Amino acid sequence: MVGIRYDWQELEIRAIYNTPLLELIYQAASVHRQYHDPTKIQVCKLISIKTGGCPEDCSYCAQSSRYKTEVKPEALLEKETVVNIAQKAKETGVSRICMGAAWREVRDNSQFEEVLEMVKDVTAMGLEVCCTLGMLTANQARKLSEAGLYAYNHNLDTSQEYYSTIITTRTYSDRLNTIENVRQTNVTVCSGGILGLGETVDDRVGMLQTLANLHPHPESVPINILSQVPGTPLENQPDVPIWDIVRMIATARILMPASDVRLSAGRARLSQVEQAFCFMAGANSIFSSDDNKMLTVTTPCPDYDSDKEMLNLLGLGMRSPSQRQEKVATPAVVG
């Protein structure tokens, strides 16, 4: 079995990324089969529990208050609304519910208390629950853990070198600090990036190196494809070629063999054949929807029925929720 490493060098990762494509897919598929059931895909549902009005300046984001997009600020959803959405998703075979709030950071107020209650109630349904709420303190991470949170998403987005070109309202270190705060709890880490921001191959390699040298690796690594949102600075970015997406998934799978690699935002523009290549390369999770949107109306998402049809066609089943395993809190150190 291929071992798990935390000391990947830039030249090694570049060599993997540049491997002839079909050989790269074969290598990634071989690694994938050593750590995962290749016949199972985890289907997730993302709920925007607090939409729009974010003060950050992320150049890709429809929810930033700095840009004029079709996304309008909305209040925090009622807990009952979130629970009902989660219940409908569970009935279709979804095993992971992700709750996203357009906040820069979590504040210790009544809204955070409401989110904690949402986490408790959806977790009680037997689902994995992931939250993405912005920056967290160690104490806030502990409260989420006590509420039963399964995972916390905090993406790096891109390389440290390119990061300030995309976002200026928080630093790369801020993101790594939040991941480390989560690591002090029993909550798993979900962290990946976005393709299509104008980054180079060097930036993709750099981001993967940072993720792959976290000890332990993020349990989930989402690979997002930019949705070009009118009104944002990146609205005119070209589409990412499918083979770049496959290369990124395959490289992530080889570097972080035990992690779930999630084919996330932007999947709606991929054909069934293109998605099949992503699964062959090691992706083992997708986001599905009841309303054809992933987080907001600016990010289309396939619906439950079309995804079931695709999975059936490919002979793939829907994975059940993972059983939580108690772990010793481990710092997210690089090396």
Active site residue 262: yes
Task: List the catalytic residue out of 190, 204, 301, 319.
Answer: 190
Task: Output the DSSP codes for 105-140.
Answer: B--SSHHHHHHHHHHHHHHTTT-EEEEE-SB--HHH
Active site residue 44: no
Active site residue 190: yes
58 assigned binding-site residue: yes
3-state DSSP assignment of residue 217: coil
Task: List the catalytic residue out of 130, 131, 278, 301.
Answer: 130
Task: List the catalytic residue out of 54, 131, 278, 301.
Answer: 54
Task: List the catalytic residue out of 170, 183, 253, 262.
Answer: 262
Q: Who contacts 87 (Cβ-Cβ below 8 Å, separation ≥6)?
A: 125
Task: List the catalytic residue out of 44, 61, 131, 301.
Answer: 61
44 assigned binding-site residue: no
Task: List the catalytic residue out of 44, 96, 98, 319.
Answer: 98
Cα–Cα nearest to 319, from 30, 37, 28: 37
Quote the distance between the C-alpha of residue 312 and its chain's center: 24
Residues 281 and 28 sit within 8 Å (Cβ to Cβ): yes
262 assigned binding-site residue: yes
Give phi and psi for 245, each to the nearest 5.
-65, -45
Cα–Cα nearest to 39, from 303, 289, 320, 231: 320
Cβ count near 160 (within 10 Å): 17
190 assigned binding-site residue: yes
- Token pair 């997210």 is found at 332
Cα–Cα nearest to 149, from 105, 112, 176: 112
Task: List the catalytic residue out of 58, 131, 278, 301.
Answer: 58
Cβ count near 78 (within 10 Å): 12
Binding residues for [4Fe-4S] cluster: 54, 58, 61
**Catalytically annotated residues:** 54, 58, 61, 98, 130, 190, 262
Binding residues for [2Fe-2S] cluster: 98, 130, 190, 262
Binding residues: 54, 58, 61, 98, 130, 190, 262
